Amino acid sequence: MNSIPLDLLYEIFSRMPTKSIGRSRCVSEQWRSILCSADFTEYFLTKSSTRPSLLFAMDRFRSNEFLFFSSKPSSSLSLAAAYFKLNMQLEFCGHAAGLFCFRRMQFTRKDWENTVHVICNPSLGQYVFLPTLTTSSRTFLGFDPIDKVFKVLSPDDAFSSSFANILTLGTGEKRWRKVHFPLAHSPVSKGICINGSLYYLAQENTTYFIVCFDVRSEKFKLIQGSFLDSDARLKLINYKGKLGVISLPRENWDSRVGLNIRSKEEVRIWVLEDGEQQDWSEYAYTLPGDKFRDVECDVLKVYVAGVTSATGDIVLMNPNYHHSKPFYVFHFHPERNVIKRVEVQGFGNHGRVVNAFVDHVEDLTFDMKSWQLDFLKFESINKFNALCLLEDI
């Protein structure tokens, strides 16, 4: 091995699955020094960034399991499932730079007093428990790409406090820190992290706005928009590196005839062009509804998984999976007004709720062994058939 050039070793190792790289670090001190080096992890990230995947996280609610599937842009488009199970019911909180945040579902006030959060890295098959926290509010995960630091943000309970709780990952912090927020509010959406800024929708009385949290400086900013209201199906998205807000079709109740009147199958996108001036651009597109009706999928039941950075496709899907029916993902290209339907096979007879994450990139940098927290491993298995994507153009 000493006779093999280092750049060739990097190329060979970078073609291995991340779980195999993790195991290979234990082969010898020489292999560990190579695979744990900053140069190799940066090389692996660079290669991985050129081939981002569509990651599926399947929630098996009754058995307290999460299953991760990753489809890569290759000829086989398949990967074995990573199997993540805890003896508690978890709800998804956030996703940033390849890591996922969950927390124990809260049913009583006693649960709020000792809320358990879990950070999971499906690429390396690792997860850690965070210090408990008293909260009934939403929780968010952010990433600072400059210092390479993750932070978990949990605002205090809705409307009762103008403080938020923060925990910095990877530093061995055992306690949550309090930071001041300029306005007491209630988060009403999941968050999204774009270029070091964490965004989420929030409400204060009858006013809706977007909270922007700078992960590095830990400063907050409020972003306004006349389109923000409670009557729309809004989701925050990463739109070509900028914050976007997307609205999907909805039904209206017509009291005169007692029927649900379907609105046009229209998608509206607002893109934040200037955060300081809060300048928004607006776009409107019409979905080819026949692609949904052809597979007996109601356009009103799909949600937006995200927007691909390479092509600008809006990725939509119905999050409810049943093994007796085909599962579809839709890629809508708004400028060409075309939609590509993709059938996903291989989920098996399991699962109820499926989350999808666009442009997921595997990263070896964040090895939880050094976090000085309770570190555990979960199983990577060949429990299911290969994940197969069948395109229908």
* Each residue's pLDDT tens digit, 321-336: 877 788 888 888 888 8
C-alpha 193/C-alpha 215 separation (Å) is 9
How high is the pLDDT of residue 299?
63
pLDDT interval class at 215 (50, 70, 90): very high
Per-residue model confidence as pLDDT tens digits over 115-129: 889 998 887 778 888
Helix, strand, coil tally for the chain in percent (to 5): 15, 45, 40
pLDDT reported for residue 199: 97
pLDDT of residue 253: 41
Statement: residue 79 has pLDDT above 90: no
For 68-72, 105-109, 360-364, which range has the lowest pLDDT when averaged over its residues?
A: 105-109
Give the pLDDT band of residue 230 (cuts 50, 70, 90).
low
Residue 97, pLDDT above cutoff 60 = yes
Q: Is 237 exposed, middle or buried (0-12, 13-18, 19+ CB in 10 A)?
A: buried
Structure tokens at 323: 């093994």
> Is the pTM here over 0.85, yes or no?
no
Coil, strand or helix at 185? coil
- pLDDT score of 135: 79
- Predicted local distance difference test score (pLDDT) of residue 238: 94
Cβ proximity of 67 and 79 under 8 Å: no
C-alpha closest to that of 265 among 355, 330, 321, 210: 330
- pLDDT over 70 at 179, yes or no: yes
Query: If pLDDT is split at 50, 70 and 90, which confidence band does 111 have?
Result: low
Q: Give the residue among 338, 258, 251 at the shortest CA–CA distance from 301.
A: 251
Element (H, E) at 12: helix 6-14
Pick the residue with more confidence: 153 or 276? 153
H/E element, 264: none
pLDDT at residue 141, as a whole number = 96
Distance CA 354, CA 317 (A): 9
